[in-house]
C-alpha cells in the first residue's frame, strides 16, 4: 500500500476508487459505462443533484446560495470571478498570501482594479498577513484559505465589510467554518473533493448578474446556475467521483469528524517535525496549514536521502514545491492517520540511522 | 449487451473502458489510481505527450500546428476562438448550419463582428447551405463539419481564401480529410474521442497571438501551447481515456479504416430507412451525416411504440433531439457494425409486426 502525500491531484478514499472503477464498466447496473451515458439521462441528473445537495448539506449553506460544478479548474475562477463580479472601474481587494493568491490578483487585473491590502511575498510567503484594512468600497475581498505551496492557512477568517471571497482549493471540506459568511467560495476538486477536471463554485445569489459588462455564455455564472451546471456537457465523471467523495465525507461524520482527524494528523506530524533534531518547519507556527505540511532538514544535503528513505517505505509525493524546497506532506481528508504515523516512524528511524551512522550525514 | 446510439457523451470502445477502469484502481502498476497522481508525474506527462502525438499522427498534421487538450468542452471554444483570433473591429465569417453553429455565432459577437454567409435555419437546418461567398477580408471562416442535432454533414469542405475553422465535435477521427487545410479545428471529446470533460484544439501556429486584446491566462491559446496543455491541472482522466481511444483508433487501422466501416454502417442504416415503408429520413440526401442518422416515421404516432420496441432489444439513446423529433442513431467510431445490423433488424421486424397487426398502427 502506498502512502500518498501528493499535493494534488491528491489521494482519494479507496472506497470511492472502487465505486468509480465499477461505474466505468457498468454504471448503476445500466449496462453502460458512466463515460458513455448522456448527461441528460435521469441517472446522471440524479448524480448532479446529489452532488449539489451534499455540498449544501455539508456546509450548512442557506437557500440564498447557488452551487455550481464547472469546467476549467480553480484557475478559470481566477478570471471568472472578476468577469462576473468586478466592473471595469471598480476595485477588488486581495490578500497576497502565496503563489495562487498572486495568480488570482494577476487575472483580476484583466477586468478591473485591484487593491492588494497586504502581502507576505517579501518573506517568501512564510506567514499569513494579518495587519490590514479591508476598504469598504471594494467590490469584494479575496483570500486564499490555504496556501498549498507554502503550507500556511487562515485559521481565523477576517470580518469583512464587503463580500468575502475565498479560493478554498486545498482545504474545502477539511474543517468547520461558517460558509454563510462568504460571498463566493471556489475550489478545484483535485485535493479534497474529487479528481481533476471540475471546480466547485458557491455563490451568494445577490452577487450574480450585478456587473455591467456582457459575459460570454461559458464564463457567465448566471447561465450556469440557471442550467444546473449543465449549460454544456459537464465533466460527467469528475462530477460523479466528487459526488462519491462527498458521500464518503458525510458517511465519516461530515466536516466536524474530518476536522477532528485532520487536526490529529497535523498535530502528530508537526510534533515530530519539532521534536526531531533533523527536521524543522518552514513557516510561522501560528499559520501552519493542517493540509499541506512543509518542512526541511537542518542539513539540506540530507534531503535527497530522506526522500529515498521514505520512498522505500512507500511514502510518495513528499517532495516540496521548488519555491520552498524540502518536503511537503499533504494530508488531505482521504489520507488515513496511519499514513501520517507511518511517515513519523520513518522520520524517527531516519534520525536513529543518521545518528548511528554519522558518515551518512556527511555525504 | 446494450447497443448505444446516444448522441454524446457517446459510446466508447469496450477495451478502452476496461483499461480505464483498471487505471482507476492501479495506474501503470504504480499502486496509485490515475485519479490521485500528480499531473506533473512522468507517467502522466507521457500520457499527455502520447495523446498529442497520436492526434498529429492520425491527422497527418504538419509541424506548423499545435495540439491542445483543454477544459471547458466545445462550448468554451465558441468563445475562446474569437477571444484569441478576432479583433474588436474585425469580422469573422460563419456558416449557420445548425444549433451549434448558431451558438458559435452568438459567442463570436461578444468579441468582434460576424458575417453569416449563409443559413439553413428557415428550413429547420435540413441541409447544408452551399451557395455562398467567403469574404476575403474575414479573419476566419467557421463551419460545423457535422451537425449533431440535425444529422447533416459537410462532405466537401469549401476552399477558403481565409483561415478555415471547424467545430468537428461530432465527426473528428471518423473520416479522412486534409487537416492541413484548416487554420483551427476544435472538438469536445465526448463523441468520437473520449469522455466528457476535455476538448481538443488544433491550431496553425501563425494564427496564435495575433489579436490585440489582453487575454486572461486560462482563455489564452498561447499560454496553453507554451505549457503543453498543463498551464493548470488538466482534466487528467479525460485526457487519459482520450489517449486510450486514440490508440484504439490507430490500432483499428487509423482514420482510413474508421471511415470505411463508418461508411458501411451509415449505408446500411440509410438503405433501411429508405427501403422500410414505415420510416423516412429528415434531411437532404446529399448532406446526410455518417455519424448522426436522423429519421422519423411516416405515422408519427408510432414513434413511441418503436422506441420501446427498440429498447426491448437493447437499443438505447435513439430518441431524436426535440428540435427534430423522431429518432437519431449516432453511429460513432466505437459503435460496431453489428449494432447497426441489430437496429436494422429491429426496423424490419417492426415493419412486419406493424403490417401483420394493423391495429398496432392505429393506436
Ligand atoms: C490554492 C490553489 N488555488 C488554485 C490552484 C489551481 O488549481 P487548478 O490547477 O485546478 O487551476 C491550486 C492548485 O494547486 C491551488 O492549490
Ligand atoms: C457539433 C457540436 N458542437 C458543440 C457542442 C457542444 O459541446 P460541449 O457540450 O462539449 O460544450 C456539441 C455537443 O453536442 C456538438 O455536437
Ligand atoms: Mg500557495
Ligand atoms: Mg525539529
Ligand atoms: Mg447541430
Ligand atoms: Mg422509408
Please report the ipTM that was assigned to this predicted complex: 0.97
User: A299: Cβ–Cβ under 8 A, 6 or more apart, which residues?
Assistant: A278, A361
B4 membership: H or E segment, kind and range = strand B3-4
**CATH topology match: A14-251 vs A254-362:** no
- Whether residue B363 is predicted with pLDDT greater than 90 in this model: the reply is no
Task: Measure A73 CA to nearest chain B CA, in Å.
Answer: 7
Q: Is pLDDT larger for residue A359 or for residue B351? A: B351
Q: Which atom of ligand 1 is nearest to A189's Cα?
A: 10
Q: Give chain A positions within 8 Å (CB) of B24.
A: 17, 20-21, 24
* Section A9-23 average pLDDT: 98
Query: Are residues A33 and A23 in contact, defined by beta-carbon separation less than 8 angstroms?
Result: yes
Q: Which residues of B touch A314 (CB under 8 A)?
A: 31
Please say if the pLDDT value at position B100 is more than 90.
yes
Lowest-confidence pick of A15-19, A259-263, B262-266, B354-358: B354-358
Alpha-carbon gap: B358 to the closest alpha carbon of chain A (Å): 33
Pick the residue of A76, A194, A197, A332 with the most B CBs within 10 A to test the interface with B by mutation.
A197
According to the model, what pLDDT value does residue A354 have?
A: 72
**A79 CA → ligand 3 middle, Å:** 17
Q: In what order do the strands lie in the sheet with A164-167?
A: A65-70, A199-204, A184-188, A164-167, A141-144, A91-96, A113-119
Residue listed under C-alpha cell 463580500: A163
**pLDDT at residue B121 tops 50:** yes
Q: For the residues A274-280, what does the mean pLDDT come to?
A: 98
B144 close to ligand 2 (CB < 6 Angstrom): yes
* CA A184/CA A165 separation, integer angstroms: 5
B340, B331 in Cβ contact below 8 A?
yes
The reply to whether ligand 2 has any atom less than 6 angstroms from the CB of B299 is no
* CA A253 to chain CA mean position, Å: 20
Listed in order, strand segments (DSSP E) in B49-195 are: 65-70, 91-96, 113-119, 141-144, 146-147, 152-153, 164-167, 182-188
CB B233 within 8 A of CB B101: no
- Does ligand 2 come within 6 angstroms of the Cβ of B99? no
Rounded Cα distance, A287 and A277, in Å: 22
Cell 473520416 locates to B175
Query: Percent of chain B at pLDDT above 70?
Result: 98
Q: Which helix (H) or strand (E) holds B100?
A: helix B99-108
Contact between B153 and B146 (Cβ < 8 Å):
yes
Mean pLDDT for A26-43 is 97
- C-beta of residue B246 within 8 angstroms of C-beta of residue B55: yes
Regarding the beta carbon of A126 and ligand 1, being less than 6 Å apart is answered no
Establish, for the pair of chains A and B, how many residue pairs have beta carbons separated by less than 8 Å.
202
Could you tell me which residue, B72 or B362, shows the higher pLDDT? B72
CB A222 within 8 A of CB A208: yes
In tens, the pLDDT along B151-169 reads: 999 999 999 999 999 999 9
Which residue in A has a C-alpha nearest to residue B239's C-alpha?
A197
Considering CB atoms only, which of B6, B36, B232 is closest to A10?
B36
Q: Check if the beta carbon of residue A238 is closer than 8 Å to that of residue A197.
A: yes
Confidence band (pLDDT; 50, 70, 90) for B355?
low
Among the partner-chain residues A36, A38, A197, the one whose CB lies closest to the CB of B236 is A197
Report chain B's C-alpha Rg in angstroms. Answer: 21
Q: Is the CB of A235 under 6 A from ligand 1?
A: no
Query: Are B4 and B236 within 8 A, CB to CB?
Result: no
Sign of CA dihedral A228, A234, A236, A238: negative
Does the distance separating the beta carbons of A74 and B72 come in below 8 Å? no
| Residue-range domain boundaries for chain A | 14-251, 254-362
The residue whose CA has the least distance to atom 5 of ligand 2 is: B74
Query: What pLDDT sits at residue A355?
Result: 54
Q: What are phi and psi of A55, to 5 degrees?
A: -60, -45
Please answer yes or no on whether B71 and A72 come within 8 Å at the CB atom.
yes
Gyration radius of chain A's alpha carbons: 21
Mutate to test the pocket of ligand 1, among A167, A188, A194 (most ligand atoms within 8 A of CB): A188
pLDDT tens, position by position, A310-329: 999 999 999 999 999 999 99
Q: Whose CA is nearest to atom 4 of ligand 1?
A: A74
Residue A99 buriedness (CB in 10 A; 0-12 / 13-18 / 19+): middle
The chain-wide mean pLDDT, for chain B, equals 96
Spatial contact of B259 and B174, defined as CB atoms under 8 Å apart:
yes
Q: Beta strand B327-330 with A65-70: parallel, antiparallel or unpaired?
A: unpaired
Please tell me the predicted confidence (pLDDT) of residue A228: 98
Phi/psi of residue B317, nearest 5 degrees: 75, 20
Residues on chain A touching B217 (C-beta within 8 angstroms): 75, 78-79, 103, 106-107
Cβ neighbors of A2 (< 8 A, separation 6 or more) are A314, A316, B30, B31, B32
Tell me what the mean pLDDT of segment A135-139 comes to: 98
Contact between chains at A195 and B36 (C-beta distance less than 8 A): yes
- Among B10, B110, B233, the residue with its CB nearest the CB of A216 is B110
C-alpha separations of B273 from A47, A84, B233 in Å: 36, 49, 46
Beta strands at B182-188 and B164-167: parallel, antiparallel or unpaired: parallel
Q: Which residues of A are catalytic?
A: 100, 167, 191
CATH class of A254-362: alpha beta
Q: Identify all chain A residues contacting B198, using CB atoms and an 8 Å cutoff.
A: 197
Tally the residues of chain A: 363
Distances in Å between the Cα of B212 and the Cα atoms of A80, A273, B112, B202, B215 are 21, 51, 12, 21, 9
Is A21's CB within 8 Å of B21's CB? yes
Answer yes or no: is the C-beta of A170 below 6 A from any ligand 1 atom.
yes
CB-nearest to B195 from A22, A35, A76 is A35
Helix (H) or strand (E) holding B345: helix B337-356
d(CA B217, CA B223): 7
DSSP β-bridge partners for residue A327? A295, A319
- In testing the pocket of ligand 2, which one of B7, B98, B99, B188 has its CB within 8 Å of the most ligand atoms? B188
CB A291 within 8 A of CB A171: yes
Ligand 3 centroid to residue A143 C-alpha, Å: 11
Half-sphere exposure of B205 (CA within 13 A, CB side): 8
Centre of ligand 3 to C-alpha A321, Å, is: 10
Strand partners, A315: A3
Contact A76, B71 (CB under 8 A): yes
Give B241's contacts in chain A (Cβ within 8 Å): 35
What pLDDT, on a 0 to 100 scale, did the predictor assign at position A361? 43
Q: Which three cell numbers stand for residue B297?
A: 416515421
Give yes or no for residue A8 CB within 6 A of ligand 1: yes
Q: Which atom of ligand 2 is nearest to the CA of B8?
A: 14
For residues B178 and B131, the answer to whether their CB atoms sit within 8 Å is no
pLDDT at A358 over 70: no
Give pLDDT tens digits for A144-165: 999 999 999 999 999 999 999 9
Does 3.90.1150.10 match the CATH number of domain B255-362? yes
Does A77 contact ligand 1 (Cβ within 6 A)? no
Three-class secondary structure assignment of chain A: CCEECCCCCCCCCHHHHHHHHHHHHCHHHCCCCHHHCCCCCHHHHHHHHHHHHHHHHHCCCCCCEEEEEECCHHHHHHHHHHHHHCCCCCEEEEEECCHHHHHHHHHHCCCCEEEEEEECHHHCCCCCCCCCCCCCCCCCEEEECEECCCCEECCCCCCCCCCEEEECCCCCCCCCCCHHHCCEEEEECCCCCCCCCCEEEEEEHHHCCCCCCCCCHHHCHHHHHHCCCCCCCCCHHHHHHHHHHHHHHHHCCHHHHHHHHHHHHHHHHHHHHHHCCCEEECCCHHHECCCEEEEEECCHHHHHHHHHHHHHCCEECCECCCCCCCEEEECCCCCCHHHHHHHHHHHHHHHHHHHHCHHHHHC
d(CA B92, CA B114): 5
Residue B361 pLDDT: 43
Per-residue pLDDT, averaged over A47-59, amounts to 98
* A contact test, residue of B1, B7, B9, B74 with most A CBs within 10 A: B9
Q: Note the maximum CA span of chain B.
A: 69
Is B36 in contact with A12 (Cβ distance < 8 A)? Answer: yes
Contacts with B200 from chain A: Cβ below 8 Å? none
| Nearest by CB: A21 against B25, B31, B235 | B25
Q: Is B248 tagged catalytic?
A: no
Phi, psi (rounded to 5 degrees) for A137: -100, 10
Q: Which residue is closest to A3 within chain B, CA to CA? A: B32
Q: How far apart are CA A25 and CA B14, in angstroms?
A: 9
Q: Which residues contact A156 (CB under 8 A, 6 or more apart)?
A: none
Percent of chain B with pLDDT over 90: 97
Report yes or no: A96 and A109 within 8 Å, Cβ to Cβ: no
Residue B356 has pLDDT above 90, yes or no: no
Residue A280's nearest CA partner among A256, A264, A299 is A299
Nearest residue of chain A to residue B188 (CA atoms): A233
Q: pLDDT digits over A65-87, tens only?
A: 999 999 999 999 999 999 999 99
pLDDT recorded at residue B354: 72
Helix (H, G, I), strand (E, B) or coil at B316: strand
- Pick one of 3.30.565.10, 1.10.3720.10, 1.25.40.10, 3.40.640.10 as the CATH number of B14-251: 3.40.640.10
Mean pLDDT of B15-26: 98
Amino acid at each position: 500500500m502506498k502512502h500518498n502525500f501528493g499535493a494534488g491531484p491528491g489521494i482519494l478514499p479507496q472506497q470511492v476508487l472502487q465505486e468509480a472503477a465499477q461505474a466505468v464498466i457498468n454504471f448503476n447496473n445500466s449496462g453502460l459505462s458512466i463515460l458513455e451515458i448522456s448527461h441528460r439521462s435521469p441517472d446522471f441528473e440524479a448524480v448532479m443533484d446529489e452532488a449539489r445537495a451534499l455540498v449544501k448539506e455539508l456546509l450548512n449553506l442557506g437557500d440564498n446560495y447557488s452551487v455550481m460544478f464547472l469546467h476549467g479548474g480553480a484557475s478559470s475562477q481566477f478570471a471568472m470571478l472578476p468577469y462576473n463580479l468586478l466592473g471595469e472601474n471598480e476595485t477588488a481587494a486581495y490578500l497576497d498570501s502565496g503563489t495562487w493568491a498572486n495568480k488570482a490578483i494577476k487575472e483580476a487585473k484583466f477586468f478591473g482594479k485591484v487593491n492588494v491590502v497586504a502581502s507576505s511575498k517579501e518573506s517568501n510567503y512564510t506567514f499569513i498577513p494579518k495587519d490590514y484594512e479591508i476598504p469598504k468600497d471594494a467590490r469584494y475581498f479575496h483570500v486564499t484559505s490555504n496556501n498549498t505551496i507554502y503550507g500556511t492557512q487562515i485559521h481565523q477568517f477576517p470580518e469583512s465589510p464587503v463580500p468575502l471571497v475565498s479560493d478554498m482549493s486545498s482545504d474545502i471540506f477539511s474543517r468547520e467554518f461558517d460558509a454563510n459568511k462568504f460571498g463566493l467560495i471556489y475550489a478545484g476538486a483535485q485535493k479534497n473533493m474529487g479528481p481533476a477536471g471540475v471546480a466547485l463554485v458557491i455563490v451568494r445569489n445577490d452577487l450574480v448578474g450585478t456587473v455591467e459588462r456582457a459575459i460570454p455564455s461559458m464564463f457567465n455564472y448566471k447561465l450556469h446556475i440557471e442550467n444546473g451546471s449543465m449549460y454544456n456537457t459537464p465533466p460527467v465523471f469528475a462530477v460523479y467521483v466528487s459526488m462519491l467523495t462527498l458521500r464518503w465525507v458525510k458517511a465519516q461524520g461530515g466536516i466536524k469528524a474530518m476536522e477532528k482527524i485532520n487536526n490529529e494528523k497535523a498535530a502528530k506530524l508537526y510534533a515530530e517535525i519539532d521534536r526531531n533534531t533533523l527536521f524543522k518547519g518552514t513557516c510561522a507556527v501560528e499559520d501552519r496549514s493542517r493540509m499541506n505540511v512543509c518542512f526541511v532538514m537542518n542539513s539540506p544535503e540530507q534531503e535527497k536521502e530522506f526522500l529515498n528513505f521514505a520512498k522505500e517505505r512507500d511514502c510518495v509525493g513528499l517532495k516540496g514545491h521548488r519555491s520552498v524546497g524540502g518536503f511537503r506532506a499533504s494530508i488531505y481528508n482521504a489520507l488515513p492517520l496511519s499514513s501520517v504515523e507511518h511517515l513519523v516512524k520513518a522520520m524517527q528511524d531516519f534520525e536513529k540511522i543518521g545518528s548511528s551512522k554519522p558518515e551518512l550525514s556527511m555525504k
